Structure 1
Amino acid sequence: MSRLAKGYFIALVGITFWSLTGVFISYLLRQYAMPALQLAFWRNLLVCVALAPILAIRKIALLRLPPGQFTFFLFYGLLLALFNSIWILAVQANGAAVATVLGYSSAGFTALLARWFYGEKLGLPKLAAVGLSLTGLVLVSNAYSREMWQLNPLGVSTGLLTGLLFAGYNLLGKEAASRQINPWTALLYSFAFGALFILPLNLLPLPGAVSSVAELWPALPPAGWLTLLTLAFIPTLLGFGLYTLSMHYLPVSIASLLATTEPVLTAIEAYIWLGERLTVVQIAGSLIILSAVLIVQLEREPT
């Protein structure tokens, strides 16, 4: 197998695992009635519990918080906590397929935020991507429908916030890379601080929060715990790990383009295992969002 073929294979396997995130979350929410913020907390915590010993065995230095980066990771974790909480609420209200597509509306928001915070050029292609992202976001989230605002206000509002928060999280990932922080260290500490922020959110009268401190511990049967552990290991750690590894063999632009297959895979998986179906309008909105992602990726790097 050639180096390029190996990169494609590793990336596609990683993205396939990654695409299962929304499906596992939706299953836990439906099958075991886990409160959304409780699930967000345990997902973050279990990722840290699983990743820390792996890094300790592989290279102990990866466990060390980079000097002078505490405040950065505090903010990184806060944004991740908000994104994970809102996104899981979006999965609960809209389904795995819709929530995953909404995350990809971040392409347009990322272009805008990068212009404001990093002074990146916002040319015609990126402006087009912004317009397409916002159009697709409105269509997929049903934000154009007054009836949906009345029937499913949580679904519409979390849908609109998902792309914006994911864009902010992506920019902080870029900032971590510019500070030469190892991606595994960044993953560990962003999820660790994220768990710390989600914990008190569970004690507030918010949608998806538990009703008491005692309920923070999930009342799950063994099959439920296995599903929760699988969510932390397979889609999050293994998916992220393989996708990161693929960039040793592929140009970043190619790996990013391959990642746009995630919402398609999630839609297929959600249809097979959860019986979810997108409406014609949502399918059209999904295609518009993916076209915006492709414009941004193709404009970013010609390789």
Structure 2
Amino acid sequence: MSLPSGTVVASTGILQGSSQGYVIAILSAILLAFTAIIIRALTEYYHLPTFVLAFWRAALVALVLLPLLLLFKPEWASLRREQVAFYAGYGLLLALFNGLWTLSVALNGASVATILTYCSVGFTVFLGWVMYSERLSLRELLVIVISLGGCFLVSNGDSMGNSRFDMLGLLVGMLSGIGYTLYTLGGRIATERRYPVWNTILYVFGFSAVYQWLFNSLLAFFPIQAFQGMTGSLWFLSQGVQGIQWSGWLLLLTLAAGPTLLGFGLYNISLKTLPLAVANLILSLELVFTAVVAYFLLGENMNQLQLLGSALVMGGVLMLRKTT
């Protein structure tokens, strides 16, 4: 997912090239930081099943974006024949990544799953080197190690040795990290093909919603123990004794239109000017921003190790900025 010609605001004397990419990537991380907050509210207060939430998150992105494109930029709403196979595959990749992430959280817990997912930075470095000759200096590799250490601490990685951490969980978690890397790589491929970023977002999330609907339906007919309680009716928020839960639908719409649509869109735009590993690493700031938002909105406090981890992640990004 990427931004080709004419989609990025023209560079000025203040923000040009990679500098613009850094600002856009950081804004993306800030927006994405609200994802976990909203998802927590939907799952804890509304008890929305995970795969139902995943479906509406993807579907509402497409439903919100389509009329906007038809109104302001109708040519970006068109789907060309040569794009269908790529978008269908990219959408499947996004749906599988979300499924692997969900399963990893179920097997490992949120902290360990997050740590394993952000190992994607290492995979991204490798792919960037192999496919795009994005050779990183020793200093940049050191920054990646420091920042990953910060992710580890922010995510309460010191509790990694719990009984829920097993080999299957490790495998699924690492696969989710690889899936995240491939998602980033797909963005770079879309950039090279000069697909408009919002055209890509529209159809990748549209296809992903279809796959999520299929996953939810199949798991309803053929239940798997690991996914128990994660599937349900797509109209969950409009059923039950409480009737239609409008506040829940509003939160879903906010999740789709804000953190998801704008967050992923800006991240894909940043891939136009930033190397794969750099964009991925900056996005790890999401962990820090999420912790800050959770502190003010949910009253969640960070311990000393988490504060240290936050400083490492922030410092790593600042060090990385000085290398370019």
Residue 258 of structure 2 corresponds to residue 234 of structure 1: yes
Residue 178 of structure 2 corresponds to residue 164 of structure 1: yes
CA–CA distance in structure 2, aligned partners of residues 87 and 72 of structure 1: 22
Counterpart in the other structure of 2:212: 198
**128-137 vs 175-184, which moves further:** 128-137
Counterpart in the other structure of 2:8: none
Residue 162 of structure 2 corresponds to residue 147 of structure 1: yes
Counterpart in the other structure of 2:40: 26
CA–CA distance in structure 2, aligned partners of residues 44 and 81 of structure 1: 9
Measure how far apart 1:262 and its partner are.
3.3
Q: How many residues are aligned here?
A: 292
CA–CA distance in structure 2, aligned partners of residues 260 and 211 of structure 1: 26
Amino acid at match of 2:42: L
Amino acid at match of 1:273: L
Residue 50 of structure 2 corresponds to residue 43 of structure 1: no
Measure how far apart 1:149 and its partner are.
2.8
Cα deviation digits, residues 164-197 of structure 1 (max 9, x gap): 3222211110110011000001111111111122
Q: Using a 3 Å threshold, how does the CA distance of structure 1 residues 73 and 9 change in structure 2: closer, same or farther? A: closer
Native 8 Å contact 1:37 1:210 kept in 2: no
Residue 72 of structure 2 corresponds to residue 58 of structure 1: yes
Measure how far apart 1:227 and its partner are.
0.8
Q: Using a 3 Å threshold, how does the CA distance of structure 1 residues 210 and 66 change in structure 2: closer, same or farther? A: farther
CA–CA distance in structure 2, aligned partners of residues 146 and 13 of structure 1: 34
CA–CA distance in structure 2, aligned partners of residues 258 and 116 of structure 1: 21
Measure how far apart 1:217 and its partner are.
2.2
CA–CA distance in structure 1, aligned partners of residues 123 and 318 of structure 2: 14
**228-237 vs 284-293, which moves further:** 284-293
Counterpart in the other structure of 1:128: 142
CA–CA distance in structure 1, aligned partners of residues 31 and 72 of structure 2: 22
Residue 75 of structure 2 corresponds to residue 75 of structure 1: no
Q: Using a 3 Å threshold, how does the CA distance of structure 1 residues 24 and 208 change in structure 2: closer, same or farther? A: farther
Cα deviation digits, residues 12-46 of structure 1 (max 9, x gap): 76654332112111111111111111111110001
CA–CA distance in structure 1, aligned partners of residues 40 and 93 of structure 2: 22
CA–CA distance in structure 1, aligned partners of residues 183 and 50 of structure 2: 20
Counterpart in the other structure of 1:188: 202
Measure how far apart 1:265 and its partner are.
2.0
Counterpart in the other structure of 2:9: none
Native 8 Å contact 2:151 2:309 kept in 1: yes
CA–CA distance in structure 2, aligned partners of residues 212 and 184 of structure 1: 29
Residue 269 of structure 2 corresponds to residue 269 of structure 1: no
- % identical equivalent positions: 37
Native 8 Å contact 2:42 2:251 kept in 1: yes
Identify unmatched segments of 5+ residues in structure 2.
Answer: 1-11, 239-244
TM-score by length of 2: 0.70
Counterpart in the other structure of 1:108: 122
CA–CA distance in structure 2, aligned partners of residues 143 and 159 of structure 1: 17
Amino acid at match of 1:216: L
CA–CA distance in structure 2, aligned partners of residues 274 and 156 of structure 1: 30
Measure how far apart 1:108 and its partner are.
2.4
CA–CA distance in structure 2, aligned partners of residues 188 and 72 of structure 1: 13
Counterpart in the other structure of 1:17: 31
Native 8 Å contact 1:107 1:293 kept in 2: no
Q: Using a 3 Å threshold, how does the CA distance of structure 1 residues 135 and 10 change in structure 2: closer, same or farther? A: closer
CA–CA distance in structure 2, aligned partners of residues 11 and 122 of structure 1: 19
Identify unmatched segments of 5+ residues in structure 1.
Answer: none
Amino acid at match of 1:81: A
Measure how far apart 1:9 and its partner are.
9.0
CA–CA distance in structure 1, aligned partners of residues 156 and 179 of structure 2: 15
